[in-house]
Structure 1
Amino acid sequence: MASVLSYESLVHAVAGAVGSVTAMTVFFPLDTARLRLQVDEKRKSKTTHMVLLEIIKEEGLLAPYRGWFPVISSLCCSNFVYFYTFNSLKAVWVKGQRSTTGKDLVVGFVAGVVNVLLTTPLWVVNTRLKLQGAKFRNEDIIPTNYKGIIDAFHQITRDEGILALWNGTLPSLLLVFNPAIQFMFYEGLKRQLLKKRMKLSSLDVFIIGAIAKAIATTVTYPMQTVQSILRFGRHKLNPENRTLGSLRNVLYLLHQRVKRFGIMGLYKGLEAKLLQTVLTAALMFLVYEKLTAATFTVMGLKSAHKR
């Protein structure tokens, strides 16, 4: 219990949250391009820079940053929960011993499940707000009119029911393998490098963070596309598949995507996603490692950061 409620877990959680907010703010326009490509199926532009140029031309210079605050708020809460749970569980299980790749994967998976169940409503709302006012090519998309985060929560609950706040939970639960795979590769590569040197450089942390996220994103991307569509929840779906987030609806959306666009339709927006998520993850881990190391040094807990 002491390991779960420790200052070390709190430091990891705060550093992870600060790192993710910093990184996402820097690369936010790339996430905007990725989301448009995933949700707006009839958008013809396929490259990231062309989509961003279209958005700026049609919707204004600040349009790539639309929905920044709800996304950052959700990300901050989400990463705080994930990093706190991950490091608390790891401290309880490992108890001073050297961790293994298998343990990192299991702990990452459990931390991901806890994170999804607690923070999915935040992500549903921020997806809606991020796409509000967008000029879609797909006429099947029903527009929204939310005044802010609180109003979005109220309208979704009133019009669609409380469970609509957990739209996309099933693919999100399947996607916990993304951070689990990411942390497994990140911790594994980190251990391998630490065998050869006493300390990792900023470049080392940036590179292994990028590699870990690139692998995790590529493996899980089709499910991320379905997750975005379900969270948005404004498509006119098959009447027989109205239960958003059900396994039947996930399979339906995957089938429709392949039927209309071929197998590569599952990877529409991957370029933007890889650019955004890899650079964001790399910068996040860099800020996270530096912040935790500095904090532990000040607290006299330097050794606690060595995994």
Structure 2
Amino acid sequence: MASVLSYESLVHAVAGAVGSVTAMTVFFPLDTARLRLQVDEKRKSKTTHMVLLEIIKEEGLLAPYRGWFPVISSLCCSNFVYFYTFNSLKALWVKGQRSTTGKDLVVGFVAGVVNVLLTTPLWVVNTRLKLQGAKFRNEDIVPTNYKGIIDAFHQIIRDEGISALWNGTFPSLLLVFNPAIQFMFYEGLKRQLLKKRMKLSSLDVFIIGAVAKAIATTLTYPLQTVQSILRFGRHRLNPENRTLGSLRNVLYLLHQRVRRFGIMGLYKGLEAKLLQTVLTAALMFLVYEKLTAATFTVMGLKHAHKH
């Protein structure tokens, strides 16, 4: 139990949260472009920079940063939960031995499930706030009018019921494989590099963080597209498909997308997503590693986890 409540897990959680917030703020406009490409199917611009230029021209210079605060607060909570759970479980299970790729994957998966169940309502609200006031090309989208995070929670519960806050939970649970795959590759690559050298440079951490995220994102992207559409929840879906997030609905949305745009429709916005997540993950891991190392040094603690 001590390892779950340990100071070390807290340091990892805070460093992970700070790392993700820093990285997300730097690359936030890329996420705005990705979300528009996924949700607004009638948009003619296909490339990231064209979509961003269009958004700035039509909606103002700060439009790519719309919804920054709810996203950052959700991300902060989400990564805190993820890193805390990941490091606590790892400490409990590994208990001073060397970790293995299989253990990293299992621990990453469990941490992801805990994270999804606790933080999905925050992500549903911030997807809506990020798209509020956007000029959509798709007439099927019902506009929203929320004053902020609390008002969005209130309106969604009042108009759509409390379960709407967990819209997209099913694909999110499937998407738990994304961070699990990412952490598995990250920890694995890190172990391989550490065999060859004593210490990893900033560039090493940046590159392995980028490679791990690129693999995880490409493997799970079609589900991310469905997740964005479900979280947004403002498309006029078939009445029999109102149970957002069920397996049938996920398959229905995947099928619709392939029928209308071909197999590449599942990868619409991937370029923006890869640019944003790969750079964000790489920068996040870099800040995370530096912060944990610095904190442990200052506190005179040895980095107790053996990787």
What is the TM-score normalised by the length of structure 2? 0.99
CA change 1:291–1:205 in 2 (3 A) is same
1:303 Cα shift? Answer: 3.2
1:306 Cα shift? Answer: 4.2
For residues 303 and 28 of structure 1, the distance between their equivalents in structure 2, rounded to whole angstroms, comes to: 31
For residues 222 and 99 of structure 1, the distance between their equivalents in structure 2, rounded to whole angstroms, comes to: 31
Residue 75 (structure 2) aligns with: 75
1:300 Cα shift? Answer: 1.4
Q: Does the aligned pair in 1 maintain the 2:55–2:63 contact within 8 Å?
A: yes
Residue 211 (structure 1) aligns with: 211
1:62 Cα shift? Answer: 0.2
Alignment deviations for residues 9-67 of structure 1 (CA, whole Å, 9 cap, x no partner): 00000000000000000000000000000000111111000000000000000000000
Alignment deviations for residues 147-169 of structure 1 (CA, whole Å, 9 cap, x no partner): 00000000000000000000000
Q: Does the aligned pair in 1 maintain the 2:99–2:306 contact within 8 Å?
A: no
Q: Does the aligned pair in 2 maintain the 1:202–1:286 contact within 8 Å?
A: yes
For residues 274 and 46 of structure 1, the distance between their equivalents in structure 2, rounded to whole angstroms, comes to: 15
Q: 3-state SS of the aligned residue for 2:136? A: coil
Runs of 4+ deviating beyond 4 Å? none
Q: Does the aligned pair in 2 maintain the 1:292–1:305 contact within 8 Å?
A: no
For residues 249 and 305 of structure 1, the distance between their equivalents in structure 2, rounded to whole angstroms, comes to: 42
For residues 256 and 45 of structure 1, the distance between their equivalents in structure 2, rounded to whole angstroms, comes to: 21
Residue 39 (structure 1) aligns with: 39
1:240 Cα shift? Answer: 1.3
Q: Does the aligned pair in 1 maintain the 2:91–2:305 contact within 8 Å?
A: no
Q: Does the aligned pair in 2 maintain the 1:296–1:305 contact within 8 Å?
A: no
Residue 6 (structure 1) aligns with: 6
Q: Does the aligned pair in 2 maintain the 1:205–1:282 contact within 8 Å?
A: yes
1:301 Cα shift? Answer: 1.4
Q: Is 1:225 aligned with 2:225?
A: yes
Q: Does the aligned pair in 2 maintain the 1:129–1:146 contact within 8 Å?
A: yes
For residues 171 and 249 of structure 2, the distance between their equivalents in structure 1, rounded to whole angstroms, comes to: 10
Q: Does the aligned pair in 1 maintain the 2:96–2:306 contact within 8 Å?
A: no
Q: Does the aligned pair in 2 maintain the 1:296–1:304 contact within 8 Å?
A: no
Q: What root-mean-square deviation, in Å, do the aligned CA atoms of Structure 1 and Structure 2 show?
A: 0.6
Alignment deviations for residues 217-264 of structure 1 (CA, whole Å, 9 cap, x no partner): 000000000000000000000111111111111111001000000000
1:277 Cα shift? Answer: 0.2
Q: Does the aligned pair in 1 maintain the 2:97–2:306 contact within 8 Å?
A: no
Q: Does the aligned pair in 1 maintain the 2:116–2:169 contact within 8 Å?
A: yes
1:305 Cα shift? Answer: 4.7
Q: Does the aligned pair in 2 maintain the 1:168–1:231 contact within 8 Å?
A: yes
- Quick check: 296-305 or 271-280, which moved more? 296-305
For residues 170 and 129 of structure 1, the distance between their equivalents in structure 2, rounded to whole angstroms, comes to: 21
- Quick check: 294-303 or 171-180, which moved more? 294-303
- What does 1:1-307 align with in structure 2 at a 5 Å threshold? 1-307=1-307
Alignment deviations for residues 163-202 of structure 1 (CA, whole Å, 9 cap, x no partner): 0000000000000000000000000000000111111000
1:298 Cα shift? Answer: 1.1
Q: Percent identity?
A: 96
1:302 Cα shift? Answer: 2.4
For residues 306 and 149 of structure 2, the distance between their equivalents in structure 1, rounded to whole angstroms, comes to: 39
Q: 3-state SS of the aligned residue for 1:304? A: coil
For residues 12 and 82 of structure 1, the distance between their equivalents in structure 2, rounded to whole angstroms, comes to: 10
1:278 Cα shift? Answer: 0.2
Alignment deviations for residues 125-149 of structure 1 (CA, whole Å, 9 cap, x no partner): 0000000000000000000000000
For residues 243 and 142 of structure 1, the distance between their equivalents in structure 2, rounded to whole angstroms, comes to: 18
Size of the alignment, in residue pairs?
307
Q: 3-state SS of the aligned residue for 2:200? A: coil
Q: Does the aligned pair in 1 maintain the 2:221–2:266 contact within 8 Å?
A: yes
Q: 3-state SS of the aligned residue for 1:146? A: coil
For residues 120 and 228 of structure 1, the distance between their equivalents in structure 2, rounded to whole angstroms, comes to: 12
Alignment deviations for residues 80-129 of structure 1 (CA, whole Å, 9 cap, x no partner): 00000000000000000000000000000000000000000000000000
1:304 Cα shift? Answer: 1.4
Q: 3-state SS of the aligned residue for 1:102? A: helix
For residues 93 and 171 of structure 2, the distance between their equivalents in structure 1, rounded to whole angstroms, comes to: 28
Q: Does the aligned pair in 2 maintain the 1:104–1:184 contact within 8 Å?
A: yes
Q: Does the aligned pair in 1 maintain the 2:4–2:88 contact within 8 Å?
A: yes
